[in-house]
Structure 1
Amino acid sequence: MTEQNPSKMGWYIHRTSKVTRSTCGNDGSQTYHVEYKMTNTLENSQIGALTSYILGSGGQGVEKTLIYAPAGGSISNLKTSGGSVTGSRQETLNGKTVYASIATIAPGESVTYSFDVATSTKAVSSLTIDQTPMGWTDSGVTTDTAVCSINSKKSSL
């Protein structure tokens, strides 16, 4: 994601995600359900005390979000809730399918993206989320892989 409001609103957008493994295929593939949430932690009472340098236009986070599957995998059932999400579209970036949108998040609001991910049959580790660094040490990512263990194929020479 990238901030589209010329500001320092990224300081106030707290991101959390939950990755839940749903299935493990005999062929090594896996499926997951992902919930990715962005919350604008700015309070309306703070707006008068902050400069336009920080707030940009009114303290709203305007987040361009790109979601793409791991190599050889796919994304399905993409849904959003909360806030205002516009410009949702499927694009191609460097030959790969990318889901792009703009989420506008007012102070105290949240936007949640939920979707399913299928991995490649060549996957050898659990799905992770790669995101830009945040202003705190906790990555905000929780993972639940208890439903099954990866059954990756081993190649023999």
Structure 2
Amino acid sequence: MGIYLTEQNPSKMGWYIKRTTKVTTVSCDSSKGTTYHVEYTLNNTLKESEASQLPSYIVNTGQDLGFGIEKILFYPPKDGSITNLVMLNGSTDAVKQDTLDGNKIYRTTVRLAPEQRVTYSFDVTVSPKAQSKLAIDQTPMGWVDTGVVYEGETCSTEQKK
């Protein structure tokens, strides 16, 4: 699946937005596909006290000083699906279903204050023909660690080869 971000404010706040993904196996079903629960978290690591000390080209100005404003697109895996996508402790309509280039996607825009964290929770079912565990393709973050952690059982793909 793909999770892609685009910064929506003229700044370099993307350097302060740390992203982590926890992927937990929910069920292994060779006829319907493996289902995973995913928690995708964005954390604005900039301290509020630091925001006013940095140049405006890094942290923006005015009401957006130190805020990370990110448009996020969630793409399901080929022949798979995303369900139950919500922003935890957020508004019920924070995430919208949409179509891009003929493909179903989900989109949202999040405004993260300094030291604020937000988590998106959803389930992903991969195609029964999938040859490997769910992989997360994402916008590069500026460091080597992908921030993706896997938990739960590993489903066998032997019968799919």
Residue type of the alignment partner of 2:54: L
**TM superposition score normalised by structure 2:** 0.88
Q: Does 1:38 align with 2:39?
A: no
**TM superposition score normalised by structure 1:** 0.90
Cα displacement (A) at 1:89 = 1.2
Alignment CA distance shift 1:20-1:69 (3 Å): same
Query: What is the alpha-carbon root mean square deviation over aligned residues?
Result: 2.0
Structure 2: 5+ residue stretches without partners? none
For 1:106 and 1:70, the matched residues in 2 are separated by: 31
Residue number in structure 1 paired with 2:129: 122
Structure 1: 5+ residue stretches without partners? none
Residue type of the alignment partner of 1:118: T
Of 84, 92, 95, which residue of structure 1 is paired with 2:102? 95
Cα displacement (A) at 1:33 = 0.2
Residue number in structure 2 paired with 1:17: 21
What per-residue deviation string (whole Å, max 9, x for no partner) do you get for residues 70-124 of structure 1? 0000111111125789763111111111000001100000110010001111111
Residue number in structure 1 paired with 2:84: 77
Residue type of the alignment partner of 2:43: T
Task: List structure 1 segments (4+ residues) > 2 angstroms apart after TM superposition.
Answer: 81-88, 147-154
**Aligned pairs, how many?**
154
Residue type of the alignment partner of 1:43: K
For 1:44 and 1:63, the matched residues in 2 are separated by: 18
Q: Percent identity?
A: 52
The secondary structure found in structure 2 opposite 1:122 is coil
